[in-house]
A and B are shown apart, each in its own frame.
Chain A
Amino acid sequence: MNRLTPESLNTLRTEMGRFMAVRFMDDVPAGQPAYPYHLMFCGGTGCRASKSMEIKHRLIEAIESRQLQDKVVLVETGCIGFCAHGPVMVVYPGGVFYQYLSPDDMGEILDQHILKGSPVDRLLYQDTGSGQPIPRLKDIPFFSMQQPRVLRNKGRIAAERIEEYIGTGGYSGACKALLEMNPEQIIKEVKASGLRGRGGAGFPTGLKWEFAHRSPGPVKYILCNADEGDPGAFMDCAVLESDPHAVLEGMVIAAKAIGAHQGHIYCRAEYPLAVKRLRIAIDQAHDYGLLGKDILGSGFDFDLDIYRGAGAFVCGEETALMTSIEGKRGTPRPRPPFPAIQGLWKKPTVLNNVETLASIAQIVINGGAWYAELGTLRSKGTKIFSVTGDVNNVGLVEVPVGTSLGDIVFDIAGGIAKGKKFKAVQLGGPSGGCIPGQHLNTPVDYESLTQLGAIMGSGGMIVMDQDKCMVDVARFFMEFCADESCGKCTPCRVGTRKMLEILTRICEGKGRSGDIETLEKWADIMRNTALCGLGQTASNPVLSTLRYFRHEYETHIREKRCPAVVCASLFDAPCQHACPVGMEIPDYVALIRDSRLEDAYTVLLRTNPFPSICGRVCEHNCELKCRRSMLDEPLGIKSLKRYITDHAPRPKVKPVPVVRGEKIAVIGAGPSGLTAAKDLALRGYQVRVFDQFSEAGGMLRWAIPAYRLPREVLAREIQDVFDLGVEFQGNTVIGRDISWADIAARYQAVYLAVGAQKSLATDLKPIAGVQVIGAVEYLRDHHLNRQPHTGRRVVVVGGGNAAVDAARCALRLGAEDVTILYRREKADMPAQTDEILAAEAEGIRLCCLGAPLHFAEMDGPLKKLVCQRMILGEFDASARRKPVPATEDIFVLETDHVILAIGQELDLAGDIRTIGTGISRRGLIEVVPGKKTRTSGTMIFAGGDAVRGPDTVIGAISDGHRAAEEMDAAIREKNAEPAFEPPPREILNIPRLMEAQAQSKPRMSVPEADPALRRTDFREVELGLVPEAAMLEACRCLQCNLKDGD
């Protein structure tokens, strides 16, 4: 026994403080320090899982073999929060942060860092953007943007030594509360702090204590809820493992405040390390007389023990937790009576979460007002979040309440991993909800989150990228709740199961119309009738995903498609499901492997009339979802497609004689119109395609330059369509050359695929000497051989594919210098990454974070384009930071030619408005809800960019297919005919994967023409795969489409 008095506590603190002072030296002092280095080695569960204990032993050996015992103090700390980078270690003085350690690194660290004073560069953290090492912990954004209060001791003290806790001022809060304050004063201070329960519901802690304090009776209890069970939440675990005494001290103070003499910590048994460290902490506190009888000589008695929870999620609910401690089956009890009146063993009881209790000592020491300095109006202090999921920096983050969601996800957690796009954040566990990108600016506090349909919860923050299906996410959480429902009350027990059945059904493609409404109805009933919070909130994930991602549910139900390509029952291979036209990728790849290229070509043509075009210019969504990317890199699907069309004779599609009386007009000879024309011709219709230009091809011909898409390739594929008997009438504008009435009279159905071909203008005032033209117009002029003017120094404004095409075209047409001016960062550019890289290789400059303001005169042929320097501000609806002008920061580009590529719109020439189709606010044609292409005009259908806005070729083709289907179906419905039955397909025997063929080679790169040579002419840049490379690449396919037994 070594009982402490207030005086000896103070002495111990001073003594320990001196020893530990080095750990607070965040700057490296010059020369060798006069005191030992402190190696703060993370012994948290996360790092242990990465075998940190092995490293620790090696480190001890290395220290001993070098006889550095006097120069080095090895400290095993709790979790420091940067779990994804573990095992980690911090070396003081200086706070040098080492990550991804392995046992073999230990000798090097000692030799280099301790003996020579220079950090080991290769083990340091590297900046996500620049790749430069950042040696010091305090400079790493993940740490520098946090404001730890609860976690103030993380990484600075040994978790199993009470003396170190005391050395940082520990137990002085308890000392003050027990000796200098009465319960009313403590409660007043906690109320003043504005601290709200960190377990989830956010009930004001001071108020809770006050109720229990006023509750009469000699026996009361204080309980600590350490039954953290939300998926993705581990902050309580980290607090208990790194700083258990902070919780004990909070409990002592709480006990004094309410008049309890016994406490229990309800800790889940799945946290063995936390339980072990708590045990050690309780024993040490007993030894020092900080627990037990007459604490610190104050006359106050308080003892506590640990109750290990057996893993039931519902036992985190306060009444269930109490029932469980009583030794009964842990089910919730109805309230009232409230625990503050009748809780554990029917005595007044306060239950607080780990994080809440760990905040208390600081509040008592520094005062409630200090605590309330941080936070928002109604939510004070800091909150720990465990940020997990698809972010670069998974870990624990403590920030002031009210920090914006985007700041946490993008600045602290480093944004979305693997360059994917942000989709949503799931907050608050199974009771919480998903918040989509348009709300990234939301301050994370209790009220704002509730408004958005999520909750603060205990602080689990699961970040999800574009590859997450929100129906699947809702299903996951509902499954969790259904499994964890205690079964006591009917709405929760049966309701969660029945909702899960519906969600599962939807994910399996068996959803029915009315399912969404049923989910909403049951969710409402469960919320209003379930016994405890678990059941009342179990439907929150469903409601919040329905609120923001209802279209995903609808797509699953109506189209049996999973837009995120997650719900595996809906598809065989993810690549095929991701393709808007469902190209049979695994099949044609397998045929390449079997050297049956002509068969492979046949497969291509089944779904796509323009495979050679798509083999060159497709956005290849398929590759984004390729499962091979989980191993190394995705399969080069686009280049394999092109390989087939380059190397196989083109199979002839047999024309179908005209058997139908109805005639169909297609307005616009772009990819969408031509696809529809082809499909309709194959269904026996007479189709006529009108276009305002002399030749067919639309944007394929007029916008995409020949170095990407050679003209002969284009011509060949278009000719295929006309070979089927489709008529073409060029140089015709409907409404000018032919009236809409004529069309309506002569054709039974019309497909509007007129595209969005007008560049958006800016308010840039023209100036003499500078040509300003839209990118679409510039490219079109070039392709029409109109020899558009090309300046000497060209500035292209914009960041999409049109901008890059215009820039590269300008270069080839004689510009000396081409600059792309973009208002966001390079990573935000919507243009395809390959295109940007190719443009840069050709010498095109990227000028990011800039926007044109106005022209200014200058002597000579060049004029000044005055630009505004932009900075990234709040997030916009696309979950990207919105560029905002950096005040008075301008720069100048010298130019004589500006090409605007900031967007395109529908060219409403020919007075489309008169024909009865709806026009959206964005100036696009509207389709009828529930249909893909049908408009409100009589038998008028529309698709492609005219409906979507500027979009991809494959999207346009997909619309063409849909339009043909819907037009045919509408005609047949009108005639009361049976639905179209496609002719039987030629059966191709698709070879199966041979083990021996499976390749673990990296992705084959596609050879390109030399940038120095190609930049002056329009030769094709991409050269296509050679047969050997194509075979190797095809063998990389994992053939996800194969099922058991195939």
Chain B
Amino acid sequence: MENSPKQVAVTIDGRHLSVPEGMTILEAARQNSIRIPTLCYHPALSAWGGCRLCVVEVDGSPKLVASCVMPVREGMAVVTSNDAIILARRTILEFLFAERNHYCMICSQSGDCELQALAYELQMDHLTVPQSFEPYPVDITSEYMAIDQNRCVLCGRCVRACGEIAGAYVLNYQNRGIKNQIVFDMNVSREESSCLSCGACLQLCPTGAIFNRYRSHRSVKGHEKSARTSMHDFCSRCGLMCETRTVVENNQLVRIDGILTPGDLGPERGQLCIKGRFEALKTPGHRLFHPMMRDADGAWKEVTWKTAMDRVECQMSAGQGGAFGLISGQCANEQLMIFRDLMLKGWAVDTLDTLDGRLLSTVASAWKGLAKNFLAFKEANWRRILDADHILVAGSFETQPLIGGLIRRAILEKRSTVSVLGSCDALSSWSTHHVPVAPGNESLITRAFLAQALKSHNHQLSSGWKPILSELASVDVQACLTQAGLENNAQQSFMAAVNVFVQSGNPMVIAGNGVIGPVRDECLRNLMFLSLIKGVLPESALRLVILKPRGNSAGALKLGILAEAQAGEWRRGLMFLDDENLEKSSILDQLKGLDFLAVITPYFPEALKDLAHVLIPRPIGLEEDGSYTSLDGQEIRTLYAILRRPKAVSESWQTLLALMQRTDFHPSYARWKDINARVIGEMQSRK
């Protein structure tokens, strides 16, 4: 083939090999199952050549070379192991052990540490290099991870991970020589730094220098090896469906890693975010193992399943109006669908919605608005952000933190330009143009942006644009900006941002937190039209990524779980929760003083302890199978249970189905397989 690289002939440990030109000695050796120890090297990162443990002898020269950075050359003769090499590696390893405090027995990562493993591999059973080190600082300001400099070997994998994978460049080195130290920003604590807690550094740290505070000391010897499983699946927490590897030991979640095997790296390069990596490890409260009911004095008592189910059936089918059903947008498609059927067909409630209020309905109505004048389009796949030469960000991306990393990497690697409308702290210092928007002015500014963009746009537009053009013809951009209170330089940024957008060849618009919502209906629509000006992507997708609030919001949207408007007063209802914390939720106000509230939830919901009447346990997400819909609604993937659910707790679909059986509605499904097939069918028909 024309594109395949030239092959060169090399000899490694006497084996004659043919490997692609430009490959490093290490890669060539690994490809041929020749083991060379490494520490600072990681296939997901650029080569660094710092630790020098991978030294090999080339062409008989006494000076050893680092195989991780030395490309192969035609005719090269490599020896990966002889007495001199082993002595050098051992000494270097001893240097590392003597440099800082590496007493494994008090290290959180003992048993799960590359440095320790190397010591075994190189048979370093004692230290000949005298130890002399000062205590180094330990940073535990982060809720999620601890940074213990005493265990650091300065391999720099975290630094490279932070830059190359997260695109954040928060971590770097400070000081020279033995005083070398990894620091956050300009040596501030983790908490004060600009770190976004994506945990890429943590996953790549070969020792216990950066470790997960939720799961430290989890891998000590004594845990049965066979009890440990890991599963390659995906994260369901925001719809990006990042690939993960979930590690479980004795039915306990140990950690969730990104996939960093070479070849498997998508544009996200195996990165996870704070939600995917850490939040699943958090437990928001006590697990619920038995149904509970609140008696007259407000005390919660355990009851039998039958008592609880009877109570729910009795209250929900009372038929006096004011019934509602609320389900978390984090739940699997199957749960959403049965819940919907139970609510609408079983109990015919007045309101069925997700916990996110009317956020989803604004998305639906924006799509409807677009459909009036144009053919049906899809949303863009978020992975296309990295292809864009210009990115227009409206709102923030707290719900999908990974998007920020992609944008930063687009800026750094592709020299993409970025304009930000509104506040987006994580990006404001990175953006090319930043237009501050006061809350409430989002629609106004996006309308002005669209109008100005259309004015500057020179190409012919299709007939579908006519009503929009006439609607926008009357918009006085200058007046809008003045009305929105933009200062002079902000107005200039606005105009510059419009120009960059119009001139860009391959832009992408991101609608994030703050621009989706009831009072900002028009905002999303404006962004849709705006992205449409620059044409659609080959897969007939808009140049638009809408960041939805929950992991399966797109599924809820497709299954029609969205309330256009609230119908009357709520009197009694059933809530279906995942692991969200409702303490600060605005929905609590609406739940006060209800006649009846039943909640199906994995955890005891502290926020609802004085509001709910019946609690019914359900497994957590990792304990049951379920399918999820991707952010753009285009992909459905099934996640299989990796943890065993508690014996006393039924699977969610069974609980819902049991309630359904007490109604007059008899669904055509009875087994999970049927439910799954039906959901997928329904989703596809709605594409």
Question: B66 within 8 Å of A by Cβ?
Answer: yes
Q: Does A493 contact B (CB under 8 A)?
A: yes
B543 contacts across to A, CB distance below 8 A: none
Residue from B50, B154, B177 having most chain A Cβ neighbours under 10 A? B177
Q: Is the CB of A529 within 8 A of B172?
A: no
List 9 interface pairs A-B (beta carbons < 8 Å), by A numbering: A336-B70, A483-B176, A487-B154, A490-B50, A494-B95, A494-B96, A525-B92, A529-B92, A536-B63
The residues of B that contact A333 with a CB separation of less than 8 Å are: 49
Contact of A487 among B48, B55, B70, B175 (CB under 8 A): B175
CB distance from B248 to the nearest CB of A (A): 35
A483 nearest CB neighbor, chain B only = B177
Q: Is the CB of A491 within 8 A of B52?
A: yes
A482 contacts which of B84, B96, B177 (Cβ < 8 Å)?
B177
Tell me which of B95, B132, B153, B156 has the highest count of chain A C-beta atoms within 10 A of its own C-beta.
Answer: B95
CA distance A334 to B179 in the complex (A): 22
Chain A: CB-nearest residue to B84:
A528
Q: Which residues of B contact A336 (CB under 8 A)?
A: 70-71
Interface residues of A in 487-532 (CB under 8 A from B): 487-491, 493-498, 501, 521-522, 525, 527-531
Question: With A and B bound together, what is the CA distance between A314 and B87 in angstroms?
Answer: 27
* Contact with B178, one of A312, A494, A527 (Cβ below 8 angstroms): A494
Residue of B nearest to A481 (CB): B177
Q: A489-B50, A528-B62 are known contacts. Are A498 and B129 too (CB-CB below 8 A)? A: yes
Chain B contacts for A497, CB-based, 8 A: 99, 177-178
Contact B173 A494 (CB under 8 A): no
Q: Which residues of A contact B154 (CB under 8 A)?
A: 487, 490, 493
Q: A334-B47, A498-B129, A531-B66 are in contact. List 18 more A-B contacts (CB 8 A).
A: A314-B176, A329-B173, A334-B49, A334-B70, A336-B70, A483-B177, A485-B178, A486-B180, A487-B175, A487-B178, A490-B53, A490-B154, A493-B154, A494-B178, A497-B177, A501-B132, A525-B88, A529-B92
A484 proximal to B (CB < 8 A):
yes
Chain A residues with CB under 8 Å of B173's CB are: 329, 331, 487
Among the listed B47, B51, B62, B172, which residue makes an inter-chain contact with A489, where contact means beta carbons less than 8 Å apart?
A: B51
| Complex: A497 Cα to B154 Cα, angstroms | 15
**Chain B residues near A536 (CB-CB < 8 A):** 63
- The answer to whether A334 touches B177, judged by C-beta atoms less than 8 angstroms apart, is no
The 4 closest A-B pairs by CB, nearest first: A487-B180, A494-B95, A334-B69, A485-B177
Given contacts A486-B176, A487-B154, A487-B176, contact A528 B95 (CB under 8 A): no
Residues from chain A with a CB closer than 8 A to the CB of B87 are: 525
B615 CB to closest chain A CB, in angstroms? 55
Question: B130 at the A/B interface (Cβ < 8 Å)?
Answer: yes
Q: Does B91 contact A (CB under 8 A)?
A: yes
Closest chain B CB from A138 CB (angstroms): 46
Q: Are B95 and A484 in contact (CB under 8 A)?
A: no
Contact between chains at A529 and B98 (CB < 8 Å): no
Residues of B within 8 A of A529 (CB): 52, 55, 64, 88, 92
B80 to chain A, nearest CB (A): 14
Given the contacts A498-B130, A529-B52, A493 and B178 also touching, CB distance less than 8 Å: yes
Closest to A502 in B: B130
**Contact A487–B177 (Cβ < 8 Å):** yes
A525 with B50, Cβ < 8 A, contacts A483-B176, A496-B177 known: no
Chain A residues with CB under 8 Å of B91's CB are 491, 521-522, 525
Residues of A within 8 A of B130 (CB): 498, 501
1/0 contact string of B100-111 vs chain A (CB within 8 Å): 000000000000
Which residues in chain A, 517-573, are within 8 Å of chain B measured between CB atoms? 521-522, 525, 527-531, 536
Chain A residue, CB-CB nearest to B97 = A494
Residues in chain B near residue A525, CB distance under 8 A:
87-88, 91-92
Residues in A neighbouring B50, C-beta threshold 8 A: 488-490, 531
- Majority SS at the chain B contact face: loop
Instruction: Provide the B37-79 mask, 1 if CB < 8 A to any CB of A, else 0.
Output: 0000000000111111101000000111010011100000000
By a beta-carbon cutoff of 8 Å, the part of chain A in contact with chain B is: 312, 314, 329, 331, 333-334, 336, 482-491, 493-498, 501, 521-522, 525, 527-531, 536
Bound form: Cα–Cα A495–B95 in Å: 7
In the bound complex, residues from chain A placing their C-beta under 8 Å from that of B176 are 312, 314, 483-487
Nearest-CB distance from A342 to chain B (Å)?
12
**CA gap between A486 and B87 in the complex, in Å:** 24
Q: In the complex, which residues of chain A have a beta carbon less than 8 angstroms from the beta carbon of B92?
A: 490-491, 525, 529
> Whose C-beta in chain B lies nearest to the C-beta of A536?
B63
**Contact A490 B88, CB 8 Å, known A482-B177, A482-B178, A501-B130:** no
Measured CB to CB, the nearest residue on chain A to B69 is A334
- Name the distance in Å between B377's Cβ and chain A's nearest Cβ: 40
Report the separation of the CA atoms of residues A337 and B677 in the bound assembly, to the nearest whole angstrom.
Answer: 56
Residue of B nearest to A313 (CB): B176
Interface centre among A312, A484, A501, A525 (most CB of B within 10 A): A525
List chain A residues, Cβ under 8 A from B132: 501
Nearest A residue to B48 via CB reads A488
Give the complex CA separation of A336 and B66 in angstroms.
11
Inter-chain contacts of A489 with B (CB < 8 A): 49-52
A487 to B100, CA, bound (A): 14
Of A329, A484, A487, A489, chain B has the most CB atoms within 10 Å of the CB of A487
Q: How far is the CA of A750 from the CA of B308 in the complex (A)?
A: 109
Known: A528-B63, A528-B88. A490 touches B178 (CB 8 A): no
Asked whether A493 and B63 contact (CB < 8 A) given A487-B173, A488-B50, the answer is: no
With both chains docked as a complex, state the minimum distance between the C-beta of B68 and any C-beta of chain A, in angstroms.
Answer: 9
Q: List residues of B (175-215) whose CB comes within 8 Å of A's CBs.
A: 175-180
Provided the pairs A482-B177, A501-B132, A525-B92 are in contact, do residues A490 and B52 lie with their beta carbons within 8 angstroms? yes
Q: Chain B residues near A485 (CB, 8 Å)? A: 176-178
The smallest C-beta distance from A441 to any residue of chain B, in angstroms, reads: 30
* Complex CA distance for A483 and B178, rounded to whole angstroms: 8
In the assembled complex, the Cα of A334 lies from the Cα of B84 at a distance in Å of 22
Q: What's the Cα separation between A779 and B210 when bound, in Å?
A: 82
- Min CB–CB distance B88 → chain A (angstroms): 5
Q: What residue of chain A has the Cβ atom nearest to residue B129's Cβ?
A: A498
Complex: A527 Cα to B130 Cα, angstroms? 20
Given known pairs A312-B176, A485-B176, A494-B99, the reply for A527 and B49 (CB within 8 Å) is: no
User: Which B residues are CB-close (under 8 A) to A530?
Assistant: 52
**Are the CB atoms of A531 and B52 closer together than 8 Å?**
yes
| Alpha-carbon gap, A139 to B536, bound state (A) | 86
Query: In whole Å, how far is B509's beta carbon from the nearest beta carbon of chain A?
Result: 32
- Name which residue of chain A comes closest to B51, CB basis: A490
Nearest-neighbour CB distance to chain B for A514, whole angstroms, equals 10
CB-nearest residue of chain B to A333: B49
Q: How far is the CB of A778 from chain B (nearest CB, A)?
A: 60
Closest residue on chain B to residue A492 by CB atoms: B177
Contact between chains at A531 and B49 (CB < 8 Å): yes
Question: B residues within 8 A CB of A312?
Answer: 176
Least distance between A840 CB and chain B CB atoms (Å): 57
- Which residues of A are found within 8 Å of B180, using beta-carbon distances? 486-487, 493
Cβ contacts under 8 Å, B49 to chain A: 333-334, 489, 531
A530, B96: Cα distance in complex, Å: 14
Q: Which residues of A contact B64 (CB under 8 A)?
A: 528-529
Q: What's the least CB distance linking B470 to chain A, in Å? A: 51
Q: Which residue of B lies closest to A328 (CB)?
A: B172
Of B47, B154, B175, chain A has the most CB atoms within 10 Å of the CB of B154
> What residues of A have a CB within 8 angstroms of the CB of B172 in the complex?
329
Closest residue on chain A to residue B39 by CB atoms: A490
Most B CB contacts (10 A, CB to CB) among A334, A494, A525 go to: A494
B52 near A486 (CB under 8 angstroms)? no
Which residues of B lie under 8 Å from residue A482 when comparing CB positions?
177-178
The answer on a CB contact under 8 Å between A494 and B63 is: no
Of all chain B residues, which has the CB nearest A522? B91
What CA separation (Å) do A15 and B130 show in the bound complex? 70
Q: How far is the CA of A528 from the CA of B48 in the complex (A)?
A: 18
Q: Give A331's nearest chain B residue, CB to CB.
A: B173
Residues facing A in B299-341 (CB within 8 A) are none
- In the complex formed, the residue of B with least CB distance to A337 is B71
Contact B177 A493 (CB under 8 A): yes
